Amino acid sequence: MTADGEAFENRLRKRARHLDAWARREGVTAYRLFDRDIPGWHFAIDRYADWLVVHEYPWKPGDALHGARRDELLAALPALLDVPASRTVVKVHARHRWGESQYGRAGGSRKLVVAEGRLRFEVDLGPRLDTGLFLDHRRTRALVGKLAAGRRVLNLFSYTGAFSVYAGAGGAREVTSVDLSRTYLDWLGRNLALNGLGGPPQRQVAADARTFLREAGRGRYDLVVLDPPSHSASRRAGSDFEVQRDHRALVEAALGCLAPGGVLIFSCNLRDFTLDPALAPSRPVELTPGSLPEDFRGQRPHRAWRFDTRAGGVHGIAGSR
């Protein structure tokens, strides 16, 4: 065993004891158990129902201990978490841009359904890095569900539609989901169907989010969810997208299509992201760390802001309407 192997096992055992009980209470079956909590352990471990996903993050070339730690971790998991090695998948992360490696990894799917309370989501533990559900946004999704009642909702960069499912289940008047990828829009359709939400008032649009916003009418929506990738490169979009460079224009365009009393939720998972100070007059209220669910406390997987067009209507995630 490596010198810190015991520290790893103790840490994981303690977190699993706490989080398994928490998840049972919440009805959550996909959640994070470990995220680089011990220096030198470049791994995250997620439970997806009765499967485990181990994320192996980039490590320093020449880190002689990394391979030994990986072997130790994989050997210890079945007993520690009661999941056999045959139901454990390892995803090796390298820097990538949406539209490059993500799509290239398609094929050989391993689908299952996970729960967040009464809602259900199809995930795929196949070779893609992404599973179809970003676990750190569970509370942001719940906020969107709460805000959606009676509202016209626009979900940009909708991916597999988790926000659209919450909005629909929360009683949205209509939900428009926009994504460049038909593969993900089809997946979104399956997630809606899993929750009995197919058909109107749900609408899916295969388009570049920036082009869509340019053509959306002013005041057309009451709630916009804007959760773009950090970078994306796609021939269909016509140009690259870099969230740090491009978010100001995107946020301003999204605010432009909000009706009075409307709300924009903007989120970003770029490490070291800073919100453009030029957006200050629109009174952004940062939702993080309140937006982080129990299994991501103390981490910084995303930063999220709420923009409220109602004068004086400023709410954090805990005190949301």
Ligand X SMILES: C[S@@+](CC[C@H](N)C(=O)[O-])C[C@H]1O[C@@H](n2cnc3c(N)ncnc32)[C@H](O)[C@@H]1O
157 in contact with ligand X (CB under 6 A): yes
CB closer to ligand X, 55 vs 137:
137
CB closer to ligand X, 115 vs 237:
237
- Tell the smallest beta-carbon distance from residue 54 to ligand X (Å): 21
- Tell the smallest beta-carbon distance from residue 96 to ligand X (Å): 11
Residue ranges of E strands in the chain: 30-35, 43-48, 51-56, 88-92, 111-116, 119-124, 152-156, 174-179, 202-206, 221-226, 231-232, 241-242, 258-268, 285-286, 303-308
In sequence order, which residues have a C-beta less than 8 Å from that of residue 80 and are 6 or more positions away?
A: 9, 12, 13, 16
CB closer to ligand X, 88 vs 291:
291
Cβ atoms of residues 264 and 254 within 8 Å:
yes
The correct pick among 159, 166, 221, 266 for binding ligand X (CB under 6 A) is 159
- Using CB under 6 A as the binding criterion, the count of chain residues that bind ligand X stands at 20
221 in contact with ligand X (CB under 6 A): no
The correct pick among 234, 244, 299, 309 for binding ligand X (CB under 6 A) is 234
CB closer to ligand X, 208 vs 222:
208
98 in contact with ligand X (CB under 6 A): yes
Q: Binding to ligand X (CB under 6 A): which residues in 135-154?
A: 137
Q: Binding to ligand X (CB under 6 A): which residues in 239-278?
A: 241
What sign does the CA torsion over 260, 262, 268, 273 have?
Answer: positive
Binding to ligand X by CB under 6 A, coded x per residue (else -) over 173-212, reads -----xxxx--x-----------------------xx---
CB count, 10 Å around CB of 202? 22
- Tell the smallest beta-carbon distance from residue 191 to ligand X (Å): 10
Q: At what angle do helices 5-26 and 66-81 cross, to 10 degrees?
A: 40
CB closer to ligand X, 52 vs 165:
165
User: Segment near ligand X (CB under 6 A), from 75-83, 105-113, 120-128, 233-241?
Assistant: 233-241
CB count, 10 Å around CB of 9? 18
DSSP sequence for 175-244:
EEEEES-HHHHHHHHHHHHHTT--STTEEEEES-HHHHHHHSPTT-EEEEEE---SEE--TTTSS-EEHH
User: What is the Cβ-side half-sphere exposure of residue 42, based on CA atoms within 13 angstroms?
Assistant: 17
CB closer to ligand X, 43 vs 159:
159
Q: Binding to ligand X (CB under 6 A): which residues in 22-81?
A: none
The residue ranges that bind ligand X (CB under 6 A) are 98, 134, 137, 157, 159, 162-163, 178-181, 184, 208-209, 227, 229, 232, 234, 237, 241
